[in-house]
Amino acid sequence: MKTTNSSRTAQQKNPWARLIRSAVIYINISLLIWAAVALFAPTHVAIITDTVYNTFAKVIKIIIAVTIGIGLLHVWVTPEHVSRVLGKESGWKGVVLASTIPLILGGSLFVILPLVKALREKGARLAACIAFISAWSGKAPLLPLEIEFLGLRFAVLRILLTIPFALATGLMSELILERIFGEKVHSTHHAG
């Protein structure tokens, strides 16, 4: 029993260790670049410092909100519900839903990728996850700006084509991974 518990504890700590190690590497690289700029172009240090501070202040709010949202998703949404709506048992309807709903979502990759990961862990099929990301990249909230710069016809055509292409991308990706590469593409949410 102790071996099983200690191996589970090691597995639980491992993602944090990797995350911290990656963060330390990126911070050190950034500090080296900042030091090089300070050494060779000292007039730019204040601009860089201000930009880094402002960006970090914006991003940390998003990270906190996403972390809370994903935590709530894990608590409130059951794997059975996600599987029923976006899993294999949902059939083509789940992939169609995943190809349309994300168009109206705003947010950055800091929001969407953790959300899709959580949905995948809860039982969403691979086709739905890939369709979700593909459709989200269509970003309908930017439609007014797109119409202003590129015209109504362009914007409407792009939005209308986003849905079938997201659907096709999701289904084809799942098929390729399943049939050609022999990978198991179903979620493993029941395996815990």
The pLDDT value recorded for residue 13 is 57
Torsion of the alpha carbons at 129, 186, 85 and 63, rounded to the nearest 10: -40
| Backbone angle region of 170, left / alpha / beta, with phi > 0 → left and psi within -120 to 50 → alpha | alpha
Check pLDDT > 70 for residue 185: no
How high is the mean pLDDT of the chain?
Answer: 83
CA angle at residue 179 from 178 to 180, to 5 degrees? 105
pLDDT at 165: 95
122 pLDDT above the threshold of 80: yes
Place of tokens 């300070």: 38
Residue 29's pLDDT is 95
Residue 79, both tokens: 């794997």
The rounded distance, in Å, linking the Cα atoms of 38 and 45 is 6
Question: Per residue, what are the HEC states of the chain?
Answer: CHHHHHHHHHHHHHHHHHHHHHHHHHHHHHHHHHHHHHHHCHHHHHHHHHHHHHHHHHHHHHHHHHHHHHHHHHHHCCHHHHHHHHCHHHCHHHHHHHHHHHHHCCCCHHHHHHHHHHHHHHCCCHHHHHHHHHHHCCCHHHHHHHHHHHCHHHHHHHHHHHHHHHHHHHHHHHHHHHHHCCCCCCCCHHHC
Phi, psi of 13 (to 5 degrees): -75, -30
> What residue ranges do the domains of the chain occupy?
2-76, 79-191
Its pTM stands at 0.64
pLDDT at 192: 39
pLDDT at 167: 94
Distance CA 94, CA 120 (A): 13
Please write the tens of the pLDDT for every residue from 19-76.
Answer: 788 889 999 999 999 899 989 998 988 998 899 899 888 888 877 887 787 788 778 8
Answer positive or negative: Cα dihedral of 179, 176, 108, 25: positive
Task: Please write the tens of the pLDDT for every residue from 128-156.
Answer: 999 999 999 887 777 888 888 899 999 99
Assess contact for 133 and 114: CB atoms under 8 A: no
